[in-house]
Amino acid sequence: MPKIASISTYKPPYTLEQSNIEQLTKELFKDKIAQLERLLKVFENGDIDTRHFCVPLEWHQTEHTFEERNDLYIELATKYSVEAIQACLQNSFFLQNTIRPDEIDAIIFVSSTGISTPSIDARVMNHLPFSDRMKRIPIWGLGCAGGAAGISRAFDYCKAHPTEKVLVVCVELCSLTFQPNDFSKSNLIGASLFADGVACVLVCGDEVDMESKVSTPHIIDTASKWMPDSENVMGWDIKNNGLHVVFSKSIPSIISSWLGPFIDEFLTEQRLTKEQLDHFVAHPGGKKVLEAYENTLQLKQDQTEISREVLRNHGNMSSPTVLYVLEQFMLKENNKNDIGLLVALGPGFCGEAVLLNWGD
């Protein structure tokens, strides 16, 4: 079974209190949205205390073109990716020995908050001494499902190439997509929820000779699920001034009716039940999303506590968020045969599930 050998996350430079973001949003949307005071309660009721951004709060007080936003995305996504990759390959908590960039055989780059051709991974290769034979697999457009999907595709790759090492890099700079002149409810909810984040994971094939300092999870199997005719559940409307968030209020109810059967089917295929799961590594899409997970999968609140903590301290960072949750599980002392399920949902509408085992 391919193994998650190391992981790192990166905190963007500007840490903002939720109350300060609410105040700026109130100033920008004053007299523009009916019943604004009532709607602003999403900031207070979302169980988010702080979020981290690549730009200061005052950056949003002036107009910025799509070109300006995207140029900044390319610059910072490249810079942050380099730092996250270095931290992952040099993570002495997990790795007995540092991994050199030229030992990496493939890189899966995941993002949905900016556009770049060549993709960011090609730009990163000019800053780190990777092999010029390294395989590049950029993935765009999976939004919140991207982190779990990246792990799934790394699993597929390592099953085919058991002697090789793969990096999964997720970068989302959601703050650069905020639209101060979009007065839709979706934009207001997005302003209360989304943040910036970066994560990097090292996945190794079965035949990679690598000594770990602590027990880290192996990937048993993965599963994907797609819902027909659901393009309007979440995603982007791409307009002249940039990316406008699409965020349906039906997401919690979709999770309640759709996710449970998907997970039950996947676990049945693995001859497991929900009761046998020791860890639930959930993408915290929001407070209501976590409650929907608990209800449909009959989870206790302590099983989603790490996800709640990541949401509280970081907000929803789209694709890397579930990897922030995974990192916290990996930093804990886990029993050798613990079973975990990593789950994330995203545009499509789609779901990704990854079954993990901390044993050998």
Residues 121-157: tens digit of each pLDDT: 999 999 999 999 999 999 999 999 999 999 999 999 9
Q: Is the dihedral of CA 202, 203, 207, 211 positive or negative?
A: positive
The CATH number given to whatever domain includes residue 293 is: 3.40.47.10
Regarding whether 334 and 285 lie in a shared domain, the answer is yes
pLDDT-derived band at 90, boundaries 50, 70, 90: very high
In this predicted structure, what is the pLDDT of residue 297? Answer: 86
Mean pLDDT over 262-278 rounds to 92
- Kindly state whether residue 97 falls inside one of the protein's structural domains: yes
pLDDT in tens, 202-214: 999 999 988 888 8
In this predicted structure, what is the pLDDT of residue 257? Answer: 84
State the amino acid at position 351 in one-letter form.
G
pLDDT in tens, 291-327: 888 888 888 888 999 999 999 999 999 999 999 999 9
Most confident of the following: 112-126, 237-251, 283-297, 334-348 = 112-126
How many Cα neighbours within 13 Å face the side chain of 80? 27
Regarding whether 268 and 245 lie in a shared domain, the answer is yes
Give the CA distances from residue 315 to residues 175, 212, 237, 259, in Å, rounded to whole numbers and listed in that order. Answer: 12, 31, 22, 22
Query: How far is C-alpha 226 from the chain's CA centre?
Result: 18
pLDDT greater than 80 at residue 165: yes
Mapped onto helix, strand or coil, the DSSP state of residue 125 is coil
pLDDT in tens, 24-49: 888 888 877 777 888 888 888 889 99
pLDDT greater than 80 at residue 250: no
CB atoms within 10 A of CB 151: 29
- Kindly state whether residue 116 falls inside one of the protein's structural domains: yes
In this predicted structure, what is the pLDDT of residue 357? Answer: 94
Cross-strand bridge partners of residue 16: 51
In this predicted structure, what is the pLDDT of residue 109? Answer: 98
Percent of the chain with pLDDT strictly greater than 90: 65
Annotation marks residue 144 as catalytic? yes
Q: Which DSSP category does 98 fall into? A: P
Mapped onto helix, strand or coil, the DSSP state of residue 99 is coil
**Across 106-110, 160-164, 243-247, 303-307, least confident range:** 243-247
In this predicted structure, what is the pLDDT of residue 200? Answer: 98
Q: Active-site residue among 144, 174, 200, 350?
A: 144
- Kindly state whether residue 213 falls inside one of the protein's structural domains: no
In this predicted structure, what is the pLDDT of residue 360? Answer: 62
Mapped onto helix, strand or coil, the DSSP state of residue 175 is helix
- Kindly state whether residue 211 falls inside one of the protein's structural domains: no
pLDDT-derived band at 231, boundaries 50, 70, 90: confident
Regarding whether 228 and 160 lie in a shared domain, the answer is no
CA dist 309 and 301 (Å) reads 12
**Is beta strand 135-140 parallel, antiparallel or unpaired with respect to 106-111?**
parallel
CA dist 67 and 56 (Å) reads 19
Regarding whether 272 and 237 lie in a shared domain, the answer is yes
CA dist 140 and 262 (Å) reads 24
Regarding whether 296 and 181 lie in a shared domain, the answer is no
For residue 309, the enclosing domain spans 218-357
Gyration radius (Cα) of the chain, Å = 20
Beginning with the edge strand found earlier in the chain, give each strand of the sheet holding 3-10 in spatial order: 135-140, 106-111, 165-173, 196-204, 3-10, 218-226, 350-357, 339-346, 279-282
In this predicted structure, what is the pLDDT of residue 78? Answer: 98
For the chain, give the mean pLDDT: 92
Single out the residue in 204, 229, 263 at which a domain terminates: 204
Residue reference for tokens 């030992």: 103
Question: What would the two tokens of residue 357 be?
Answer: 């085992």
- Kindly state whether residue 212 falls inside one of the protein's structural domains: no
DSSP string, 292-328: HHHHHHT--GGGGHHHHHHHHHH-B-STTHHHHHHHH
Cross-strand bridge partners of residue 245: 236
Regarding whether 191 and 251 lie in a shared domain, the answer is no
Count how many domains the chain has. 2
Regarding whether 100 and 189 lie in a shared domain, the answer is yes
In sequence order, what E strands does 14-129 have?
A: 14-17, 50-53, 106-111
In this predicted structure, what is the pLDDT of residue 271? Answer: 95
